[in-house]
Amino acid sequence: MAEIAVWIFCISFGIGTLLLLTYIIDGYGNDYMFAGFLYVVAATFVNTIALCVLLIHAYIYYEYRRSLLKWAALLLANVPIAILYMYIVFEILPHYGRF
């Protein structure tokens, strides 16, 4: 399960960063805004399921609890990153224009 958590983290982070950079480079199109919104919804769903599975496994398999909770924390690291990206899109870019 740990490998899956790492893959989910990396894929979520990579796609989110790619969408942000595409949005910035290509001129703040509404298509990218909509795609980003859909991506955040889908990523939230997938990450929540993975987090729940990790927490259930941590409860069931006590001897692996520390390791499983570490991977759960890695998944939760995507939350502040997503918040930062949304802050950039909604607060910083409108005030400072194109790069």
Does residue 59 contact residue 31 with C-beta atoms inside 8 Å? no
Q: How far apart are CA 40 and CA 89, in angstroms?
A: 13
Residue ranges making up the domain that contains 13? 2-96
Digit-coded pLDDT (tens) for 38-86: 999 999 999 999 999 999 999 999 999 999 999 999 999 999 999 999 8
Q: Is the pLDDT of residue 95 over 90?
A: no
pLDDT exceeding 70 applies to what percent of the chain?
96
Quote the pTM value: 0.83
Residue 65, pLDDT score: 94
| Mean pLDDT value across residues 27-46 | 85
Q: Tokens 């399960």 correspond to what residue?
A: 1
Tokens of 87: 């802050």
Work out how many domains the chain is built from and give that number.
1
Q: Is the pLDDT of residue 99 over 60?
A: no
